[in-house]
Structure 1
Amino acid sequence: MSAVSYADVGGVNVSTWHYIDGARVPSPDSFPVLSPIDQREIAQVASGTAAEVSLAVSAAEAAFDDWAALGARGRAEYLYRLADLIDANVESLAIVECEDAGMMLRPLRAYVAAFGAVNFRAFADMALAQTETGWSYNGSKVRVQRMPAGPVGIITSWNAPIVISTWKLAPALAAGCTVVLKPSEWAPLTCSMIADLAGEAGIPAGVLNVVQGLGREVGEALAADERLTRLSFTGSSRTGRAVGQTAANNMVPCTIEAGGKSPLVVFADADLDAAAKTAAFQYDDAGQMCIAGSRLLVEESVAAEFLTLLGKHTDAHVVGNPRDPETTVPPLIHPDHLARVSGFVERAVAQGDTLLRGGRSLGGLLYEPTLIKPRSNDAEIVQEEVFGPVLTIQTFSDEDEAVRLANSTRYGLAGMVFTRSADRAERVGRAIRSGIVWVNAFNLRDASAPFGGRGMSGVGREGGQYALDFYSDLKALYIKEDTTYED
């Protein structure tokens, strides 16, 4: 039976049907959305199939020519209006994202939900700033022109749905593409709200479509649709690999932002308290951050002092209800994910790794901050992404060993280096093989900078000009210089 058209989520009415061609569309079946806070059902959401995906892609295809023809300035007017509406609805978006994804309400209200507006304004500005490049070659004028790629598919994850979905939607729409968005079935509701705000902003029907449903039905059907010109995915490495294979079959360029197992490297000359505070911050959002520095690598001579400081900052965490402004470690997203996280810890202990703190479920979907000293660098807990409040700690003797350990996994999304040496910061920052390295900092994100990873962390780059390039086809136009034209 189809879901009802709206659900009351924390006092906010949220549409539970698909958004296709500017209208709400039901499905015969629905799936429940459970709040991570108390595992209570908060909505029954329309469960799409290949039929709804096809309908949405057809709508995106039909809307593409007119949207592309608007040019960067015409599209920017719509995106600025959408950004204004997101700003005006931050409170509602924050409440729903807290209930739906279990994210902490205080930062959602303060700045996280507003990142959606930041993304739309930033990419509209960047698209407006683009200019054609040109030169003379062998008697001809050469110009490089940009063409919007066409209808695109976007598949997003359940952690930080507002931030991640708008991070992808904004450059796609700014570049002139039309979009079919598939949100995660574990946290789809704020993506539905963004679709309504897009309609309120006047974005034409078919330009932005949202199809909800299970990954094995909607995600697979979207990735396989031959009419799409681009695919962008954020999620697990395993699913990202499948999406990439499907895209390759259709000769469709894709970006894949997948897992991370990032190193946080602390040298003896670092501000140890700042490093330990940043390390403890990796437990925020229950460690459900792809960029989290989950592998602590600390120089041997300061390891004991660092552990003491880390303990102090970890003790300051509050595990609890994300509605509570004091909470810093909210629940995990889903019972299946809790089982995954606890399974990693249980296997680590069984295999001989040392549990230094934590390692217990605290009821519901809460899991306490956990620190493990692995028996070796080959341990599963070191090499595989846990995506929970679980860190490992290892020591190194010199800079070469620090770099070797930092680069010793299949992942390469992010890294952190703490040192007071400018020379070392430059050397190690360059030597760590990942898409992002922060020195004496964490989670600085400039919309104009590239974002993405290597290895099992993904393919391609998002952000800035790199994203606009991805959603565009480039054309070299040669015009013979001595041609006489009658008009």
Structure 2
Amino acid sequence: MQAHTAPVEGVVVDLRHWIGGERVASERTFADVSPIDEAEIAQVAAGGAAEVDAAVAAARAAFPAWAALPVAERAAVLRRVAEGVEARVEDLARVETRDNGSLIRSHRRGVMPRVALNFRAFADFAEQRLGHPDLEVRGHRERISYDPAGVVAVITPWNAPLMLATWRIGPALAAGNTVVLKPPEWAPLTASLLADIMHEAGVPAGVFNVVQGTGLDAGAPLTAHPGIDRLAFTGSVPTAGVISKAAAENIVPLSYELGGKSPLVVLEDADLDLAVDIAVEQFDNAGQVCLKAARMLVHSSLVDEFTERVVAMAATLRQGDPRAEDTDVSALISRAHFEQIRGFVERAIADGARPLLGGGPNDELGGLYFRPTVLVDAKPDAEIMTEEVFGPVVTIESFDTEDEAIHRANDTRFGLAATLVTGNREAAERVSAQLNAGTVWVNCFFVRDLEAPFGGNGRSGIGREGGIWSFDFYTDIKNSVFSPSGWKE
């Protein structure tokens, strides 16, 4: 018989699904392997169509009562969830670091506090925003209401599994929906801890459900299920294409946050210290960040010094075990992903690109550790310049004119983010307005309030979430018009 729990970094994690307020085992399991050392952490329950059916049925049964709760009561429950996350930041940090290889210091200081904020902030937004004053039109009264959509399916990636899941779960629950979460098979464990926190916070049975498993066995039946009313997905473009076909059969609205090939544009008048700092920040999480500015476009008058300084600073990054507080760059998520990144770099070099730093595995560490890599001289239409390389790899190229920089920055099928460094306010306004991206950072990086919209253009996604935009997606907006006549008092 398979074990129902496993100790992970001193934290007991339940390996079963969470369906209808109960732990549910499966006959089949899958191996959860840590990228730190490629050691098996545990055998996790592998769900399929039967578990998905049960979770959707539980969510459907729980929906009327949860939706009927006053917004203030739902918000109070979600604030207790936030408190539960804050009380277990260390446990969540240790488990997720072991599970997906991301830095424990990032979890302690930023990621897990943000998870709590995803619940607290959307609880606040729901109380503030899910009610509009009545409108008066030609003597008629119009009432705009945000009605919860129903059952929301949330499918999340492995690079920031808990934070990106709760970014969707928080507003979905705050709006009165129920949720079925399919966590990533490469990093599923913190979703199980979240189920414990939800239960302890008083989230009613069936309001939040977790079905673990592979994309083929659990994800596919969830996305095609006729019982879901909204589908939120963060992941790759090819997977989004498959999901879109399945969801289209049931006319299910979609919210997609997909990949990116984002530019960092450094104009002639830029603060070079700032530009270099932002450039080196792109190696965070071993480059496994969809927003990463992988294509660095630098004015020809600055490119030599910029390149030299980026290479020198990136060479000082400490690569190793992410459980150590002083580690800067960890491992890639899996052997398959490691080989994919190596293939991208090897083909780029064979096609004429020159590695000024890195270019291959870290032989001193072995395993899944790939050295931070800086490439120059890549051809504009080379694969390394057009495809998302979800790893610690950046390219640097130069430009001569502002128009050229804008054209090359926008010369991509993606449009998730762009970063601009300039010392001129007018240039900042002018160039940022012309960059094709859902988010443009000027002289900063990775800054966004939860009230602001987030999403991508082109192959980077569909829709926007954040603040009121989240509620636009997770609710059905109704306009009720009342005539002043016809009342029988």
Task: Answer whether TM exceeds 0.5 for this pair.
Answer: yes
Match of 2:100 in 1: 101
After superposing the two structures, state which structure 1 stretch, 304-313 or 336-345, moved more.
Answer: 304-313
**Aligned ranges 1:100-139 → 2 under 5 Å:** 100-130=99-129, 131-139=131-139
**Aligned ranges 1:468-487 → 2 under 5 Å:** 468-486=471-489
**Aligned ranges 1:7-406 → 2 under 5 Å:** 7-130=6-129, 131-362=131-362, 363-406=366-409
Match of 1:425 in 2: 428
CA distance in 1, matches of 2:326, 2:88: 23
Deviation at 1:268, TM superposition (A): 1.4
**Aligned ranges 1:449-460 → 2 under 5 Å:** 449-460=452-463
CA distance in 1, matches of 2:451, 2:481: 30
After superposing the two structures, state which structure 1 stretch, 202-211 or 142-151, moved more.
Answer: 142-151
CA distance in 2, matches of 1:82, 1:48: 25
CA distance in 1, matches of 2:60, 2:310: 53
After superposing the two structures, state which structure 1 stretch, 236-245 or 90-99, moved more.
Answer: 236-245
After superposing the two structures, state which structure 1 stretch, 396-405 or 369-378, moved more.
Answer: 369-378
Contact 2:32 2:186 in 1 (8 A): yes
CA distance in 2, matches of 1:445, 1:47: 36
Q: Which amino acid aligns with 2:418?
A: G
Q: Which amino acid aligns with 1:126?
A: F
Deviation at 1:251, TM superposition (A): 0.8
Deviation at 1:391, TM superposition (A): 0.2
Q: Which amino acid aligns with 2:378?
A: R
- SS at the partner of 1:294? strand
Q: Which amino acid aligns with 1:461?
A: R
Q: Which amino acid aligns with 1:393?
A: I
Contact 1:273 1:309 in 2 (8 A): no
After superposing the two structures, state which structure 1 stretch, 439-448 or 355-364, moved more.
Answer: 355-364
Deviation at 1:109, TM superposition (A): 1.4
CA distance in 1, matches of 2:377, 2:158: 29
CA-atom RMSD in angstroms? 1.0
Contact 1:374 1:381 in 2 (8 A): no
Gaps of 5+ in 2: none
- SS at the partner of 1:66? helix
1:9-33 Cα offsets, whole Å, 9 max, x none, are 0110001000000000000000010
CA distance in 1, matches of 2:368, 2:377: 25
1:10-57 Cα offsets, whole Å, 9 max, x none, are 110001000000000000000010111101111110000010000000
CA distance in 2, matches of 1:127, 1:374: 50
- SS at the partner of 1:179? strand
- SS at the partner of 2:301? helix
CA distance in 1, matches of 2:199, 2:314: 44
Deviation at 1:329, TM superposition (A): 0.5
Contact 1:10 1:99 in 2 (8 A): yes
CA distance in 2, matches of 1:143, 1:182: 36
**TM-score normalized by the length of structure 1:** 0.98
Contact 2:311 2:356 in 1 (8 A): no
Deviation at 1:445, TM superposition (A): 2.2
Q: Which amino acid aligns with 1:237?
A: V
Contact 1:288 1:388 in 2 (8 A): yes
- SS at the partner of 1:81? helix
Deviation at 1:252, TM superposition (A): 0.7
* Count of aligned pairs: 485
CA distance in 2, matches of 1:315, 1:136: 64
Q: Detail structure 1 runs of 4+ shifted over 6 Å in the superposition.
A: none
- SS at the partner of 1:434? coil
CA distance in 2, matches of 1:249, 1:418: 45
Deviation at 1:133, TM superposition (A): 4.1
Deviation at 1:266, TM superposition (A): 0.4
Deviation at 1:374, TM superposition (A): 4.0
Contact 1:240 1:257 in 2 (8 A): no
Contact 1:383 1:409 in 2 (8 A): yes
Q: Which amino acid aligns with 1:8?
A: P
1:56-109 Cα offsets, whole Å, 9 max, x none, are 000000000000000211101110000001000000000001100101111211
1:273-295 Cα offsets, whole Å, 9 max, x none, are 11011101101110000000000
Q: Which amino acid aligns with 1:195?
A: A
CA distance in 1, matches of 2:123, 2:251: 28
- SS at the partner of 2:231? strand
Contact 1:151 1:177 in 2 (8 A): yes
CA distance in 2, matches of 1:175, 1:135: 22
Contact 1:53 1:221 in 2 (8 A): yes
Deviation at 1:315, TM superposition (A): 2.0
Q: Which amino acid aligns with 2:413?
A: R
After superposing the two structures, state which structure 1 stretch, 240-249 or 294-303, moved more.
Answer: 240-249
CA distance in 2, matches of 1:435, 1:228: 27
Match of 1:4 in 2: 3
Identity %: 49
- SS at the partner of 2:302? helix
CA distance in 2, matches of 1:119, 1:423: 35
1:177-232 Cα offsets, whole Å, 9 max, x none, are 00000000000000110011000101000000000000011111000011111000
CA distance in 2, matches of 1:454, 1:242: 19
Gaps of 5+ in 1: none
CA distance in 2, matches of 1:231, 1:283: 31
CA distance in 1, matches of 2:215, 2:52: 12
Contact 2:378 2:384 in 1 (8 A): no
2:412 to 393, 403, 409: 409
CA distance in 2, matches of 1:191, 1:118: 16
CA distance in 2, matches of 1:476, 1:462: 22
